[in-house]
Structure 1
Amino acid sequence: MAGTGLGFRRVEGIGERSVSGALAGLLSLTSDAVLAFDGFGRILMANEAAERLFGRQDLVGADVRALFPPAAGVVPDDAFDPRALPFSTDGSTSSLVVVGAAGAETGISVRCDRVSAPGETYLLVAYEDDSRQAEEREHDRLVQELSRANHRLSGTLSIVLETLDSRDVQTLFSRVLEEITDTMDATGTVFYVAEADGYHLRGTSSSLGEARVPRFMSFGRTIERLASQAGHALRLRVLAPEGADLRRGRLARRNVVNEETREIYHVMSSVLPPFASFIAVPVWFGRHLLALIEVGWDHVHPMRREDSELLDAVAQYLSVQLAGAFSAMRAQREADLREAASGIRESMMSAGSVDEKSVAAALEAAAGVLDASCVQLAEDADEPGRMRATLSDGRTCSLAADLGATEGDQAGNEVVVQPVREGSALASALVQEGEPAVGALVDAGMVDGTRCFCLVLREADAEPLDDLELKFLERVATDASGLAHGDEVRRQDKHIAQALQTGMRNELQRVPGISADGIYSSATQAAVIGGDFYDLIRLPNDRACVIMGDVSGKGVEAASVSAAVKTALGAYSWQGLAPAHMVRLLNEFLLGFSRLETFATLFVGMVDLRGGRLTYCSAGHPPAFLVRASTGAIEALDVQSGVVGAFHEMTYRNGRVSLGAGDVLLLYTDGTTEARATDGAFFGEDGLRDAVMREAPRGFEGLLGRLLDALDRFTSRHLEDDVAMVALRFDQVGKRQMPRA
């Protein structure tokens, strides 16, 4: 025998490669008899204790069956079958009797199990033992195994009972991890969820404390790939680094051995859990890999096959619970982000005007929701195709990036959100500047002639933005861009409206025999133009046409329709048409003119001073008041027709009323009667009638100003709609006022 006490020789191609060096060292140290034999029953290796126990010096190469009854000392002729051995090969203990060197029978205990090695290899351990010692040892072993199995079963039942039908994600991500850690007597447990871009850390057991745990693993980074390919739990051990690795300094990769197949993998240190030994457990739902659980120990720990099988069973149960929990979690996360986006939008709207600074503030707020920082960018005027960035420490730098990839349409108004890709020019530039390269580039398009875009970045070891977070950023950017562009359009509309207002300024022509006054009050200081308008047109033969209208809407559309209506009515009045006929023609004109669903209310009156008559058509307009000079009474002109520009074939009627010298006609828009007090009460026709009764006796001059003052007092100077009023006093009625035209 060799000095190591190990009998070994080559037998028909069987050599030292079939048994590891570690096993050889173990055999030389143990006092138990140890044999290794192959699938043909040939003994490959034996230690001195085995030679003493079986009384043979030539064990290596012998048939293992010849050592045990019923074939003791005889080599059977039939083919070797491990199932025919007098002991089991599953690792359990068997009691046998063998014949020693002196021919005496000796009671022994035998344990045999198949080991992972090239070919079919079995390891057998035997020791002398009398029946009582054997029974006691077996009893102790069984009690220990039973205690361990009971602990595993109790832990598994706790997991099932505490998570049964649970949709509480927090329960699944915390309590289960604690139960698994306790059940496996492990140092800790970590939990990753499989999402579109990789595996995101969603929970750790409390025992890990401040231990460094990778927060994200992209697809194909060894551990998850191995577990996915195997389809079941893997028992893995991180090997100690070799001297050459230590001398190189920081270990970028570590060697990890598969305890079942003895394969060695080179794994990036950044994706390894903080364990020396661990079991990686894939969680499957059908054919879809939902998650990865890693249960580990901070020291080299013997991991049994039944441990991985137990964890596979736990994962199979949890998969059903997790599928529902993940769906609920995603829906809740989506709702939270949608609410956050709405809050940012409301903040922008409440701030009033939205400009470039407002858009930048909105993007910064969105970054805060995602636990990220916002790096503002600007196109580098000196270097086209690059961006000037203001970094977190206040430094500015030029970053290489393909801006063309985010320009959208030719106007540059399309919102684009792109994740920062690993290995891209932008990512490389950020790393070079010492900035994290985990996040997204957000381009909100052009605002006031300036591009609004930024980088939303997380810490270097953080998980990347998922699809819900990217959609959130896109929504915030789209809202901000839309509000900013809306403000631009409103400002442009305001300028256009001002131009239209200047071109169609409300005016009352001088008509002999008529004193006229008009007033217009905007609901807000900012509202330069609305849909209210009026006009007094002097016509031949002591006649005049008075017009008051209110077009629905505000801004350019309302102003352009108002201008068209005034122009059309002016032309109709010179044709000598009756008011109802004029309004009927205008109705058809408006239905073909406006691209929007715009309608108008109108009062069109033809004044005949010689005849002392007023012929009018009130098309959906508030009834005009006629104040009689002779009695002071107020008459409402209440012959009413439908609005203009809403429907074809609308019927319009004329109303007629006689006029006397000194009578006053009051026209007004609905902003007057629909004005509200602070308690919500309407001013109404009665309020206006009372004000006219009170103010008319004080004279025509300043009448409209006094009525407007009364309205301001009633509303506490808070009008909700524009107000327009026109007053005509018929000074001379029944005789010729001017030369024939």
Structure 2
Amino acid sequence: MEAIAHEEFPNLARLVEITSDAVVVCQPDGCVLHVNKQFLSLVSGMRENVIGIDIKDMLFSDTFERSEDHRLPFGVDGSENTLMLKLSDGSFIPVSVRSLMMTPPKFTGLSHRPPRVLVVLRNLEEQYAKDRRAKRLLSELQAANKRLSGTLSVIMSTVGSEDLSALLDTVLNKLADTLNADGTTIYFSESGGFKLRGASKSLAGEYLPDFIPYGAGIGTYVTREAHACRFSIAPATEPRGPFSAVFYDIDARVSTPIRVQDTPPFKTVIAAPVFYGTQVLGIIELGWKRHTTPRVSEVRVLEVICDYLSIELVGLVGSMRSQRAAELTRSLNQMRDAMFSLEDQPRESRGQIVSELKRMLSCRICPVVFDATLKSYVIDFEGGSRVALPCSVDDAFFSSKVPASRLSAPADALSPGAGATQPDLKNARLVRVDRTTKMGDWLYAHGLPSQGVFIDMGRGVVLDAMSPEHDIADGEDSAQTGGATTGDPSSAASSSTSLASVEQPDASVRMFLLLRDGTQEPIDDMEYDYLLRLVHDLELIEAGVRNKKEEQRIAQTLQGGMRSQLGRVPGITSDSLYSSATKQALVGGDFYTLIRLPDDRAVMILGDVSGKGVEAASMSALVKTALTAYAWEGRSPVGLARSLNSMLMGFSRVETFATMFIAKIDLRAGTAVYCSAGHPPTMIARVPHEGRNIAAEVEMLSVQSGVVGAFENMVYETGSFTFEKGDIMFMYTDGAIEARNAQGDFFGEQRLRDLLLTQSLQGIEGLCDNVLLSLDEFTGSVLDDDIAMVALRFDAGRSDAL
């Protein structure tokens, strides 16, 4: 067989020994005639075991099939073929095969011998390994380029951003795409824990913890480590209550239990803290839904992005908190407007406050009431379920120790309200409720919402609209004490007043809990300040209501003792009316009196003192008394006005003034003199009757002077008129002519004059009532001012005197 090396192709035999390729020379039928050392090394065999065997038993197709019909498994035209070479141990390796048909030279005398096949083989395993290595390097280079470009893109997107939500959306989506993650989330450090502020689009529809309290979850762990960490999340081998999973720190090799509600939707996570100096702004979590080992380079990328992101976040977070503070301020102003605009409708006002609180704070409002059946205070949850407190209110909410973190805690530099003066509460009390407090821990242990604020409105301030529709046991309102609460309902302060006690004392509630569940963040400092100011406003409103009620009682006392009345004067028939614009029918500044003097004389006074309530009622009583005294001294109407002006100008309250009409009537002569000091003109109705055949007409007394009590040197003028039997003098305050209809039109003097012209023909009885009825029809029974009206009919006149 080896004759080929010395006789047929001696030069070829020497050549194949020095080549680096494996070479085989065989017959056209496949019988191996010669191999070089490289081939023997490739197959790990001995020469004697290879020479003479069929090459078809060594080279197979890539599907390990043997060539049939004595055909060679490769072409002999020099083309490249990929085959599987069987080694001496029975294993296979891929090889590249090329072959040519060789014929012995004619000049050697061996031309009669058959041609030979030269087969050259090259091991493809090394080539494949090189290709794989090159592809891996290329892939790593591409990944590095992608990380670099992605990192630069994320960093550039943070520069100069003014919209926090747009910034977070861009960063989180680019970050997930850059590192081929399944999703990214960011949590901001808030009061009490980490609040979810953004998530990549790929996590739409996934469960994400909305709030993770401090001391729980990945955020707290990363904050304590102060650097990015790689985690693997897996079910707990021994679940304990809510801790059904664990997160494993891949680098530190530490496992930590995690609650199911705090578990992210990933199996592998890189979590990195976002620091600004020493302050933690938040946590970024990059996750995969499969178990994998993140590269260290990916951790570095996330840390770099966090460093750059913190610079932009600190400004935007401050802006976000400013916006939140502005929202809370607007809400507080809206509730203040509701309190003042609906002061006469307390239930509707409180309903608006409750709705606004729920909208702004996303919390439950649970009244705390005394249950006479259980003989204890209970928390009345929505839906009617009640939970009895384990102890008295003071022991439950006000006896626990305050955590050290809340003692003299520095104001948040990012909070717009930092440094603002806190309002002082007189009776109400507020206290936080969370896991660090006695009551918060008790609520949590019973599976109830355990974080929020307890508010005791104290004596007087009651928000019954915060209570759901429920029946309160008899005696409950007697247990509604103010200030400190004891466990004994019999110790209640019976003198406690309230915004609602007049209407519905049995449904009043003065203590309640604002609660959030564990998936929400606790009430933060801005929200607590918001509640504090709201309660302070409620106290002020309640104090105003109490003062108003006290003024009402004083005014009603004045009304009973100094009610405007017309004295009985022979020769004069009178009709009068006083109508208050308020439902309480208080005494205001309007007053009138008819004083009988000797010699068939009388003084008629009708006036209106500026101001409202007790002050106006007191001043009108003083003015009325002073004018009565001056009238008995025999002074003229102008003299009465001057004397009263001097008296009022001697008061320190220079803003007190009055308008009035004063008439001194001589019934024997049928004449009268008057002084109209800033008052609407009095009308004289000339009425026809038997023995007096005239056309009915209304005369206006037009002589006018300035108001009383405004200026020290005011000049007052005297007017006069005559009257006949049956004439009617009609006096009124400005509330009658300034009444408006729905279109804003005034009733006016002309309408009143026309009305008096027709009504006076019916006589004096009920005249003032008929005028008021017409005013009600004109205004739709909506009068904005008090109205006083007096009508005097003269039963004798000038003709009788003559």
- Is 1:147 aligned to residue 142 of structure 2? yes
- Is 1:235 aligned to residue 229 of structure 2? yes
- Is 1:719 aligned to residue 780 of structure 2? no
- Is 1:309 aligned to residue 304 of structure 2? no
SS at match of 2:272: strand
When the two chains are superposed, the root-mean-square deviation of aligned CA atoms in Å is 4.2
Checking the alignment, whether the CA contact within 8 Å between 2:189 and 2:282 is kept in structure 1 is: yes
Q: Deviations over 1:518-549 (max 9, x none)?
A: 22234465545433221111123333221111
Q: Work out which of the residue numbers 589, 601, 620 in structure 2 matches 1:562.
A: 620
Q: Deviations over 1:564-615 (max 9, x none)?
A: 2222222222223343443344345556769795543222233344565534
State the distance in 1 between where 2:534 and 2:767 align: 52
Q: Work out which of the residue numbers 377, 382, 400 in structure 2 matches 1:387.
A: 377
The structure number with the bigger radius of gyration is 2
* CA 395–366 in structure 1, closer or farther in 2 if over 3 Å, else same: same
State the distance in 2 between where 1:214 and 1:708 align: 67
Q: Deviations over 1:107-139 (max 9, x none)?
A: xxxxxxxxxxxxxxxxxxxxxx99989975664
- Is 1:654 aligned to residue 717 of structure 2? yes
- Is 1:279 aligned to residue 342 of structure 2? no
- Is 1:426 aligned to residue 484 of structure 2? no
Q: Deviations over 1:614-644 (max 9, x none)?
A: 3433222112223457976544333333334
Q: 1:465 deviation in Å?
A: 1.7
* CA 641–381 in structure 1, closer or farther in 2 if over 3 Å, else same: farther
List aligned pairs for 1:220-299, cutoff 5 A: 224=219, 227=222, 233-238=227-232, 246=238, 251=243, 254=246, 256-257=248-249, 259=251, 262=252, 264=254, 269=259, 273-285=264-276, 288-299=279-290
5+ residue gaps, structure 1, are 1-128
Counterpart of 2:524, as a letter, is D
Give the aligned partner of residue 186 of structure 1. Answer: 181
Q: Work out which of the residue numbers 497, 503, 524 in structure 2 matches 1:466.
A: 524
Give the aligned partner of residue 756 of structure 2. Answer: 692
* CA 223–487 in structure 1, closer or farther in 2 if over 3 Å, else same: same
* CA 672–353 in structure 1, closer or farther in 2 if over 3 Å, else same: closer
Q: Work out which of the residue numbers 732, 744, 749 in structure 2 matches 1:680.
A: 744
State the distance in 2 between where 1:253 and 1:705 align: 82
Count how many residue pairs are aligned between Structure 1 and Structure 2.
599
Give the aligned partner of residue 517 of structure 1. Answer: 575
Q: Deviations over 1:222-266 (max 9, x none)?
A: 9556655766x4133348789xx638676489574363xx47475
State the distance in 1 between where 2:239 and 2:580 align: 82
Give the aligned partner of residue 18 of structure 2. Answer: none
Counterpart of 2:377, as a letter, is M
State the distance in 1 between where 2:630 and 2:153 align: 90
List aligned pairs for 1:324-723, cutoff 5 A: 324-341=315-332, 353=344, 359=350, 362-363=353-354, 366-367=357-358, 369-379=360-370, 387-392=377-382, 394-400=385-391, 402-403=393-394, 414-445=427-458, 446=460, 447=462, 448=497, 452-478=510-536, 483=541, 486-487=544-545, 489-523=547-581, 526-587=584-645, 589-590=647-648, 598-610=656-668, 613-627=671-685, 634-645=698-709, 647=710, 649-662=712-725, 663-723=727-787
State the distance in 2 between where 1:734 and 1:250 align: 103
State the distance in 1 between where 2:315 and 2:756 align: 71
State the distance in 2 between where 1:439 and 1:700 align: 68
Checking the alignment, whether the CA contact within 8 Å between 1:613 and 1:656 is kept in structure 2 is: no
* Identity among equivalent pairs (%): 38
SS at match of 2:357: helix
Q: 1:420 deviation in Å?
A: 0.4
State the distance in 1 between where 2:722 and 2:662 align: 16
State the distance in 2 between where 1:651 and 1:500 align: 30
Checking the alignment, whether the CA contact within 8 Å between 1:367 and 1:456 is kept in structure 2 is: no
* CA 594–614 in structure 1, closer or farther in 2 if over 3 Å, else same: farther
Give the aligned partner of residue 195 of structure 1. Answer: 190
Q: Structure 1 length normalisation: TM-score?
A: 0.69
Checking the alignment, whether the CA contact within 8 Å between 1:617 and 1:654 is kept in structure 2 is: yes
Checking the alignment, whether the CA contact within 8 Å between 1:400 and 1:429 is kept in structure 2 is: no
Counterpart of 1:387, as a letter, is Y
Between stretches 522-531 and 446-455, larger displacement belongs to: 522-531
Checking the alignment, whether the CA contact within 8 Å between 2:575 and 2:768 is kept in structure 1 is: yes
Q: 1:376 deviation in Å?
A: 0.9
* CA 681–392 in structure 1, closer or farther in 2 if over 3 Å, else same: closer
5+ residue gaps, structure 2, are 1-123, 400-423, 463-496, 499-507
Between stretches 411-420 and 283-292, larger displacement belongs to: 411-420
Q: 1:221 deviation in Å?
A: 5.9
State the distance in 1 between where 2:138 and 2:148 align: 15
SS at match of 2:293: coil
* CA 295–633 in structure 1, closer or farther in 2 if over 3 Å, else same: same
